[in-house]
């Protein structure tokens, strides 16, 4: 394990924004993850677990601690009757799992085609699209607890919700997971896969962190719908996309420095021209304030922040 110093984090996020990490290490396996965390604790240095960096904004000053980039990428598949069991370490890219399963007509992750990042990050945020989520295929998850003891959690113990899991609250470190995929007709898989490809092609041609603000379950916005019943028609499958409110607030194309609300999807902020983190923060605050005034609704960020 090699701990490096002053590594620019902009090169490790899809936003391409952020200053240096004081310390940086790539952990290639579970033992190295444990070693890195132990080193940080021994030296009283804060640490941050980094996956694909696809849902993250790093401050311009960087992070005065140790960034542990999880690069554990073992993947093992095993047929069990009509199912395919996939044992996968946290650093495996989601796209690798998708391609491994669909090539043999197994369904469960094809909806995520084009979503960047690792399976560890996908499990932590319960990645979702097209009415599907990664939690559907999770059988169990192996984690380090606060004492760096490995333990296995069942799907139920993971406390999955819409864009949520227990891991956003507990600080447990995801090490690996067992996933179960079911046999399906190739045409059905291809139809979903193609929908995912269309969504991917509609992504911005500029660096971004994906959707900035969390969408809502319809049950969470009852007061909003009372004040603005016209929003009822925007609910799809029990979900409400908040990008519509940003759009209707005339914020598409709005810029702060090099950051811009993307003109094709208002819930994306893009790094249009060498944006700084302060530009993105300024634009986030402007969007929240404008939507608050128009709709009396408080947007909540779903991207994570590091070094602020």
Nearest of 250, 262, 253 to residue 293 by alpha carbon = 250
User: Is-catalytic flag, 184?
Assistant: no
Which residue's entry shows tokens 């542990």?
68
d(CA 246, CA 295): 10
* Sequence-ordered list of residues with C-beta below 8 angstroms from that of 167, at least 6 positions apart, any chain: 123, 124, 143, 158, 174
Number of continuous H segments (helices) and E segments (strands) in the chain:
8, 21
Residue 211 falls in the annotated catalytic set = yes
Which is the catalytic residue, given 32, 100, 260, 302?
Answer: 302
* 299 in Cβ contact with 242 (< 8 Å): yes
Q: Among the options 211, 216, 254, 260, which is catalytic? A: 211
Overall residue count recorded for the chain in this entry:
308
- CA separation for the pair 5, 99 (Å, rounded): 35
Residue 185: how many other CB atoms lie within 10 Å:
10
Q: 255: which 2 tokens? A: 């810029």
Hey, which residues are catalytic here? Answer: 211, 302
């Amino acid at each position: 394990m090699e701990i490096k110093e002053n590594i620019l984090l902009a090169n490790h996020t899809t936003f391409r924004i952020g200053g240096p990490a004081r310390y940086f290490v790539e952990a290639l396996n579970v033992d190295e993850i444990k070693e890195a965390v132990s080193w940080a604790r021994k030296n009283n240095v804060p640490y941050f677990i980094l996956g694909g960096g696809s849902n993250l904004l790093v401050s311009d000053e960087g992070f005065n601690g140790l960034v542990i980039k999880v690069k554990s990428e073992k993947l093992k598949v095993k047929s069990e009757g009509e199912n395919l069991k996939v044992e996968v370490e946290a650093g495996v890219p989601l796209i690798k799992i998708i391609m491994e399963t669909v090539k043999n007509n197994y369904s469960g992750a094809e909806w995520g085609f084009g979503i960047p990042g690792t399976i560890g990050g996908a499990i932590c945020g319960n990645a979702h699209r097209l009415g599907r989520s990664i939690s559907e295929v999770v059988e169990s998850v192996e984690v380090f607890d606060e004492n760096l003891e490995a333990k296995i959690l069942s799907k139920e113990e993971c406390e999955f919700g819409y864009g949520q899991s227990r891991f956003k609250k507990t600080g447990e470190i995801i090490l690996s997971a067992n996933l179960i995929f079911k046999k399906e007709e190739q045409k059905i898989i291809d139809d979903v896969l193609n929908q995912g490809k269309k969504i991917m092609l509609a992504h911005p041609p500029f660096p971004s962190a994906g959707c900035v603000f969390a969408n809502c379950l319809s049950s969470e916005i009852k007061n909003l719908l009372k004040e603005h019943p016209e929003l009822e028609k925007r609910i799809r499958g029990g979900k409400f996309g908040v990008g519509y409110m940003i759009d209707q607030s005339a914020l598409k194309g709005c810029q702060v420095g090099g950051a811009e609300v993307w003109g094709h999807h208002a819930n994306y902020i893009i790094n249009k021209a060498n944006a700084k983190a302060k530009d993105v923060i300024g634009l986030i605050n402007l969007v929240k304030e404008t939507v608050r005034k128009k709709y009396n609704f408080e947007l909540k960020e779903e991207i994570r922040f590091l070094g602020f």
